Amino acid sequence: MTRFNRELRWVGVELLTLAVHVLQSSTGKTVNGKPESDEVVISNRCICSQSSLKLSCPGFNTVEAVDSKLFRTDGGDLCAVNDNQPVYKDQSIEFKYAWDSRCALSPSASKVNCS
């Protein structure tokens, strides 16, 4: 194991929060009478890929179809990103959703893959 890998494990969620960036921006449109609250961009800023990436997504709901391979709830307060497949350095996953209010999305867990 390299020194970098040990450091990644040591800082855990704090590093994940720095490595995985979640940006939500309003589109101003409506879908089925609900505001299209956000265009979401989830990006990996880490030099290592992140697989099994989970976001905290308490109460996430939408009337706008979201590709479940990009983003889906696990039935609780966590959501899977990219069908649990790796999100590589500088890769972004993008989707839109529409609901009455914005969901607070934040990185929760991932498997860091450095070689």
Q: Sorting pLDDT into bands at 50, 70 and 90, what band is 17?
A: low
Q: What is the pLDDT of residues 41-94, one digit of tens each?
A: 999 998 889 999 999 999 999 999 999 999 999 988 999 999 999 999 999 999
pLDDT of residue 107: 92
Q: Report the chain's C-alpha Rg in angstroms.
A: 15
**What total number of domains does the chain contain?**
1
Question: 39: domain range?
Answer: 3-113
| Class of residue 64 by CB neighbours under 10 A (exposed 0-12, middle 13-18, buried 19+) | middle
pTM score, whole prediction: 0.82
